[in-house]
Structures are given as C-alpha cells and as structure tokens.
Amino acid sequence: MVKRITTPLSEEVVRSLRAGDRVLITGYLYTARDAAHKRMVESLRKGEKLPFDLRGQIIYYVGPTPPKPGQVIGSAGPTTASRMDRYVEPLLQLGLKGMIGKGNRSPEVRELLKKYRAVYFAAVGGVATLLRRYIKSSELIAYEDLGTEAIRRLYVEDFPVIVANDIYGGDIFEEGKKKYARRAS
C-alpha cells in the first residue's frame, strides 16, 4: 500500500509513518545540500533568521542541474544524507519534520528523529532524470551564490520515497541487514 501525504507535514502524519512505508509526497519541498546546511546553521548561531520557515517542512538533499529549455528543472537525484548529519539538530529544533536523501543516517540522527518527531525518507539514487518529472515548479529562494547548492522551493506531485527512519526508531537499513544475515546463515 502506498501512502499519499501533503506538505507541510502535521504531527498526525508524522506519527502515521513507519519505516518501510512507500509514500507519495505532494506539496512543497526545499532543496539544500552541504554548503546550504552549513550556511543555515552558521546563520542560526549568529542569531539570524533562516530564508524560510522550517515548521512542518521537508528538506530534499539535492543539487539539481540547470534545466534545459522547456524543463522545470534538470536532473534532481538525492545526495548522500549522512553528509548533513552534523547539521540536523538545529533544524529539527526549529520544526523541520522531514528529510529526503539516499543512504542511511547515523545512530545520533536516528535518536534525534525520535526526540524531535521527524522522519527521514529515502529516495532512489541513480534515477535523477526520472525524479525530475515529479517536480512541477522550482523557485530559487536563497544563497544564489552557491549555484546548484542554492536553496530552492520545489512543488512536487506524487514524489516517490520510502520511509527509512521513523519516530519510533524504525530503520529500513538495519532491518534489511538483519533479514539478510538470517538468510545468509
């Protein structure tokens, strides 16, 4: 069964998601990779406001390529989530409710997801061209000097992801390792 959700994420929606759920997201996502995360956290440490309100939002770890004529966006595949792990807590404290990337998260981030009641979604890597068809609009909103790593506001329809980590400690990567270990022995 596939769950359809819309952004911004409510507490009720976050509570309903479990590791392994297949999800289609409709609504706004914000893009940010390493450089944008570093700048956001530095801004917070200086007491500055962020370029968008994080409450209930989802950040997609992507640096889309420039669009070709007639396209909304270029290739838009997920980047490795663990590179953002050191920046997660200050953003969760401000109400961030979801992140999309590829690969697993550290044990510390998995604990933060439980503490702040947020989820991590995995998107399939290697299909950047395919994923862009779910992106209906793209607007640059901050850090233009970062080029492809600038923050963009994307409107997506039925963007496909899997809940990798939920607020209950569920982790599809750990569950997969255990399942494979049982089969191998």
Catalytic hit among 33, 37, 39, 132? 37
Q: CB within 8 A of 46, min separation 6: which ones?
A: none
Token pair for 139: 């607007």
Burial 60-71 (b: 16+ CB within 10 A, else e): bbbbbbeeeeee
Distance of CA 65 to the CA centre of its chain: 17
Question: Are 109 and 88 contacting, i.e. CB atoms less than 8 angstroms apart?
Answer: yes
The CA distance from 143 to 32, in Å, is: 10
DSSP 19-66: TT-EEEEEEEEEE--HHHHHHHHHHHHTTPPPSS--TT-EEE---PPP
184 is known as an active-site residue: no
Instruction: Check whether the bond before 67 is cis (ω within 30° of 0).
Output: no
Which are the catalytic amino acids? 37
